[in-house]
Amino acid sequence: MANKRTLKKSVNYIAGELFTECIVVKNFIPNVNEDKVNELMTKVLYMQDEFIRRINHPEPGNVKGHFKKLRKDFDEQLDFLINEIGNLHEQKA
């Protein structure tokens, strides 16, 4: 298992990349619903805050299980957000 600092850096990097992708879609893809993009950008920021908080405060007594669940939840959230960004390309205003 990586240390907390490395995990937080990874979460911040991935969230930054997702946020950047939303900005690119918003500015360079014609006829994209800007409200949906703004909503998705907000979800990315909430996801980042949630996982940083969870990394900082592991469950006492079950640290290994906590980080295993954190990893699983993070992967699921990433899949959801990536699919949402992909759907933005297809949805026209």
Domain housing 40: 4-90
More confident residue, 60 or 48: 48
2-6, 14-18, 44-48, 64-68, range with the lowest pLDDT: 2-6
DSSP state of 29: S
Q: How many CB atoms lie within 10 A of CB 59?
A: 13
Tens-place pLDDT, residues 70-84 = 999 999 999 999 999
What is the average pLDDT value for the chain, to the nearest integer? 91
Q: What predicted TM-score, i.e. pTM, was given to this entire model? A: 0.88
Q: Is the pLDDT of residue 93 over 50?
A: no
Q: How many domains does the chain have?
A: 1
What is the C-alpha separation between 44 and 47, in angstroms, rounded? 5
93: closest CA among 13, 30, 44, 24? 30
For 31, residues 6+ apart whose C-beta sits below 8 A from its C-beta are: 92, 93
